[in-house]
Amino acid sequence: MVSTDTSPGRTGRKPVSQLHYELLTLGDELLLGLTANSHLTFIGEQMGLHGAMLRRNVTLTDDADDISAQFAESWARADVVITTGGLGPTCDDRTREAIAEVLGQKLVFDPEIEKSIAERFKRIGRTMTPNNLKQAYRFERGEVLPNANGTAPGLWVEQDGKVLCMLPGPPNELHPLFLDQVVPRLSKLGLLLDREAYVQVRTAGIGESSLEHKLQPIFDRHREGLSIAFCAHAGHVDVRLSSPTGLLPNATLQQIAAECAFLLGDDFVCFGHDSLAEVCASMLRSADLMLAAAESATGGLLSDAFTNISGASKFFAGGCICYSNESKTQLLDIPEEIMMQHGSVSAETAVAMATGAAEKLGADYALAITGFAGPCGGTQQNPVGTIYIALYTPRGTWSRRLNYPGARLAVKQRAVNAALDWLRRELMCGQSGCAGGGCIVGR
C-alpha cells in the first residue's frame, strides 16, 4: 500500500526504492507476435530512470474476464498499476469495462472527451463514426489524461491508496502521454525521484567483459554502497552506477563515472543516453562541419540515424543510396574501372563512394558503406557479412574491412554502428589534434 489512508483520491508517500508497480500490456497482437512489446522497454526504462523497479509485467489477451482477473491480482499486490492498450473504439477494446468492475466504479460519459474526439476527426479531415463515442467514457472517480495525438485519452485513478494509470496502445500516443503527464504526476505524489536514479556511462568499441575488467580497479575502490549494472546494446555498452541504499550521494556517483570516462579514453562516448549519431551530430555542429553519406549495403540506415535528429540540416548535407553499380557511377561519378578491377564490395569502391559523396554534396566529412549483408552474395575473398566502410575527412580518406555474422538486418545495423563510432573517434582526433586515420586506402 502506498498509504494507510484509503479514501479515494488520496495517495501517501512511500520511498521510491520500495515502490511496487506492475505493468499490464494488453492486446492479442502482442501474444501472437504481430507487434513487439515496446511498451515494456519504454516504461521500464523511464520508471527505472526515476528509481522505480518494475516487479511484474503480464501480457494479456483482449478477453474481459482475463483482464479483470489479472487486474484484481495486480491491484491487490501493487502500489501502482499501469495498463497499455485496450482503449480503442472497437468491440475488442474492453479494458475500461473490465477494470471498472474490479474497482467498483461506474463509467460515465464525458462531453468534453467527445468534443475533443470530434475536433480531432475534423482536424484530420475524417468522419467520426458512432463507435468512437466509446472512448468518451471515463471512471466516475477518476481523471482524464488528454491525448493530443489520438482519440483515446489516458485514464487516471487514485483509490485505495494506490494509483491506476491506463494508456492508449500506439507508441506515438503513449510516449508523450507518459513523459508529459504520468511521470510528473507520479513525481508530484512522491512516488518517483525528481532526478535520475543512476549515473550512466555509455561506451563503444569495447566488449562487456573487457569493459568490466578495465573498470574493476575503480569499482574496487568504491565497493561500499555502489551498485553496478552492465547493459549491452547493439553498438554500445552502458555502465549504470547507482546506490540503492542511498549511501552514496549522486555527486559521488558522478565522480565515479568521471573516473570511468577518464580511464576509458576514446571508448567513452558520453554520460547519459545520447546515441552515437547524436554524439557525432553534436561534435559536427559545434565545429560547424557538414557530413555526407553514401550507402549501398545499409540502404539508408546511416542517413536515417542522422535525419532522426532534430535540426539535422545544420550538420548533415545529405545521403545517397547507390545500390547498383550503375547508380554508383551515375550519382557519385565513380569510374567504372574501379568496380571492374576491384569489385563493388571493396576498399577502393568504398573510398570512391565517400569521396564522391563529399564532393557532390560539398561536405567536410563523408561516410560510405558497401558490403554483402546476406544471406545471398559473397565471394571467397569477401564472404557474406563482409563490410567495407570509408571515411572522408579534411586530413585524408581511409577504409576499413569488417565482417559480421548474423541476419541481414543485424549486419546492416552493426555496419552503421561501426561507421558512427569511427566518425566519432575521428572527430575527437580532429578536436585534439591526434594522428588518427590508420586504415587501408588513402588519398
Residue 385 phi, psi dihedral angles, 5° rounding: 100, -5
Counting Cα atoms < 13 Å in the Cβ hemisphere of 63 gives: 8
Record the cell numbers describing residue 309, joined without a space. Answer: 535528429
The structural domains of the chain, ordered by start, are: 16-188 (3.40.980.10), 199-271 (3.30.70.600), 276-432 (3.90.950.20)
Which of 186, 176, 180, 166 has its CA nearest to residue 26?
Answer: 166
The DSSP H or E segment spanning 316 is strand 316-321
The per-residue pLDDT for 434 is: 58
Query: How confident is the model over 184-220, as pLDDT tens digits?
Result: 999 999 999 877 789 999 999 999 999 999 999 999 9
Q: Which 8-state DSSP code applies to residue 365?
A: E
The DSSP H or E segment spanning 216 is helix 208-221
Query: How confident is the model over 389-436, as pLDDT tens digits?
Result: 999 999 999 999 999 999 999 999 999 999 999 999 999 987 655 544
Query: How confident is the model over 47-56, as pLDDT tens digits?
Result: 988 889 899 9
Q: If you average pLDDT over residues 11-34, what whole number do you get?
A: 79
Rounded Cα gap, residues 70 and 118, in angstroms: 33
Rounded Cα gap, residues 386 and 308, in angstroms: 27
Counting Cα atoms < 13 Å in the Cβ hemisphere of 188 gives: 8
Q: How far, in whole angstroms, is CA 48 from its chain's centroid?
A: 14
Among 193-197, 251-255, 332-336, 357-361, where is mean pLDDT lowest? 193-197
Sign, CA torsion 404/406/408/412: negative
Residue 64: how many other CB atoms lie within 10 Å: 16
Rounded Cα gap, residues 382 and 151, in angstroms: 52
Q: Decide: pTM greater than 0.85.
A: no
The per-residue pLDDT for 17 is: 54
Q: If you average pLDDT over residues 126-150, what whole number do you get?
A: 94
Q: Residue 12 pLDDT > 80, yes or no?
A: no
Strand partners, 294: 320, 368
Which of 356, 436, 363 has its CA nearest to residue 396?
Answer: 436
Per-position b or e across 383-399, b if 16+ CB within 10 A of its CB? ebbbbbbbbbbeeebbb
Rounded Cα gap, residues 389 and 366, in angstroms: 10
Strand partners, 391: 367, 398
Strand partners, 59: 25
Record the cell numbers describing residue 96, joined without a space. Answer: 475500461
Compute the mean pLDDT over every residue in the chain, rounded to the nearest whole number: 91
